[in-house]
Amino acid sequence: MEIPRSVAYFLFAGICELGGAYLIWLWLRTGRSFFFGIAGVVVLAIYGMIHTLQPTNYGRIQAAYSGFFIVLALIWGWQVEKVTPDRIDIIGGFIALVGVCVIMYWPRA
């Protein structure tokens, strides 16, 4: 398995999930154009397709991605919404990434 490629898929999936949901958020919560919602749906569909590129089963991908998503969501909040993660956020994100590495990349018999 190519770990860098797998991590890139997780990053791309996370950006698509967060970005797509954020576009829908902007449409529904801030009164932006309906086209923000349509764009959000398209981006979320791309997110769903990205997971098929990962080299393992769906359940394992989703479990590992959930841990990766925790960190991406904290970074999104920090960079887009200007909410700085605190020490506990960082510790929790680190623990989540350790879980991702164990689930996805630990050698199996």
pLDDT tens, residue by residue, 1-56: 588 999 999 999 999 999 999 999 999 999 999 999 999 999 999 999 998 999 88
pTM: 0.85
Pull the structure tokens for residue 15: 């950006």
Q: Nearest CA to 64 among 73, 54, 75?
A: 54
Count of residues making up the chain = 109
Q: What span, in angstroms and rounded, lies between the C-alpha atoms of 94 and 38? A: 34
Residues 51-109: pLDDT tens digits? Answer: 899 988 889 889 989 999 999 999 999 999 999 999 999 999 999 999 999 998 999 87
The full set of domain ranges for the chain reads 3-105
